[in-house]
Amino acid sequence: MSQPIVLAENLGRDYEVGGGLFSKPGIVRAVTETSFSIEAGKTLAVVGESGCGKSTLARLVTLIEEPTAGHLRIGDTEATPENWKKLRTDVQIVFQDPYGSLNLRQKVGAMLEEPLKINRPEMSKAERQAKGREMMRLVGLREEHYDRYPHMFSGGQRQRIAIARALMLEPKLLVLDEPVSALDLSIQSQILNLLLDLQERLQLAYLFISHDLSVVRHVADDVVVMYLGRPVETGPKDEVFDAPRHPYTKALLSATPRAEPGGGRQRIKLQGELPSPLNVPPGCPFAPRCWKAEDICRSDRPRLEGQPHPAACHFPEA
């Protein structure tokens, strides 16, 4: 087994909210006790509904925000703020919205060269340009696009530019924060295939954040299902998809439309709302919406454990 590119142990991030002059600040636990590792050439998908901490996890791994608990190790280096500068070139991110993630006043070429300008000051202008043009070819853009502004491109092309920019520093890990959910269905598959192709060629590790399970099924090797900032089930893709152990995963899977006429499973409809992350119930966070919940679920928090893959549930499916 090879050395993982990224290793997270009990990673957590709290935010203080509110806290005016007279009120006590509340604490939102956006991410708690999340552990995972990704090897080169592999994809770990993080799924869950909105507000479950997926994007916060992405920001932690991309070294935009400092974790308030746990460890994060990238390559051989502990990712503490002192080391961020050194690790910048190893981790890059592609954002969800290709309309907000590109600077409208910057030409595509300048955008691609910027990371090199900052991190490889010894490179000459010609070298930078050559590299930028090569990267454009790699992501399927034409060379004459080099001197254009982002507003001249479609959403899919913009996302290709964003991917090219992220790859300019030759990172080992690419964080993909819902990279296709803002795109047309027909463009989605193009971008996904481009990502898979790049992964194979460059041996990239992907942290793939998504709420779209059919996309995850297409790209992932391993899956982490998150609920209210905690992983509730993790395992290899096939196992999680074919034999979900946590009721939440089951509900999530039943909600994806599938192209099987007449067949498919019964749709599980969840009752109630996601509890406020400011006020997480003491037991299993899923208990208020779970159809299997019993007293123990409301008092004791289940641990992430079990066979064949770990799930945080007192009554997992076999």
Partner 1 sequence: MADASSQIARTVPTRRAGRLREFWKYFSENRGAVIGLYVFAAFAMVAIFADFLAPYDPTTQFRGSELIPPFWQEGGEWAFPLGTDAVGRDMLSRLIHGARFSFFVGIVVVVVAATGGILLGLIAGFAPKWLDTLIMRLMDIILAFPSLLLALVLVAILGPTLLNAMIAIALVLQPHYVRLTRASVINERTKDYVTAARVAGAGYLRTMFVTVLPNCLAPIIVQAALSFSTAILDAAALGFLGMGAQPPTPEWGTMLADAREFVLRAWWVVTFPGLAILVTVLAINLMGDGLRDALDPKLKRS
Contact with partner 1 (CB under 8 A) among 32, 43, 56, 92 = 92
119 scored as a contact of partner 1 (CB under 8 A): yes
Q: How many residues does the chain have?
A: 318
Least distance between partner 1 and beta carbon 103 (Å): 4
Residue number with CB closer to partner 1 (88 or 301): 88
Contacting residue, 9, 114, 212, 239, with partner 1 by CB under 8 A = 114
- Which of 28, 45, 63, 297 forms a contact with partner 1 (CB under 8 A)? 63
Contact between 249 and partner 1 per CB under 8 A: no
Give the binding range for partner 1 (CB under 8 A) out of 95-103, 132-140, 193-201, 304-312.
Answer: 95-103
Of 174, 185, 178, 182, nearest to 99 (Cα)?
182
Three-class SS state of 40: coil
Dihedral of CA atoms 59, 60, 62, 66 in degrees, nearest 10, equals: 110
Q: Which of 71, 131, 148, 289 binds partner 1 (CB under 8 A)?
A: 148
Cα(178)–Cα(165) distance, integer angstroms: 17
Residues near partner 1 (CB under 8 A), total: 30
Instruction: State phi, psi for 236 to the nearest 5 degrees.
Output: -60, 150
Question: CB count, 10 Å around CB of 53?
Answer: 25
| Distance between CA atoms of residues 214 and 199, nearest Å | 19
Q: Which is nearer to partner 1, 7 or 93 (CB)?
A: 93
Select from 37, 68, 89, 256 the one that contacts partner 1 (CB under 8 A): 89
Closest approach of partner 1 to the CB of residue 128, in Å: 13
Q: What torsion, rounded to 10 degrees, do the Cα atoms 169, 123, 130, 193 define?
A: 0
Minimum Å gap between C-beta 62 and partner 1 is 6
Sequential DSSP letters for 89-123: GGEEEE-S-TTTSS-TTS-HHHHHHHHHHHH-TTS
**Residue 142 binds partner 1, judged by CB under 8 A:** yes
Question: End-to-end distance of the chain based on CA atoms, in angstroms?
Answer: 28
The reply to whether 57 sits near partner 1 by the rule CB under 8 A is: no
Query: Contact residues for partner 1 (CB under 8 A)?
Result: 62-64, 85, 88-89, 91-93, 95-97, 100-105, 114-115, 118-119, 142, 144, 147-148, 152, 162, 165, 169
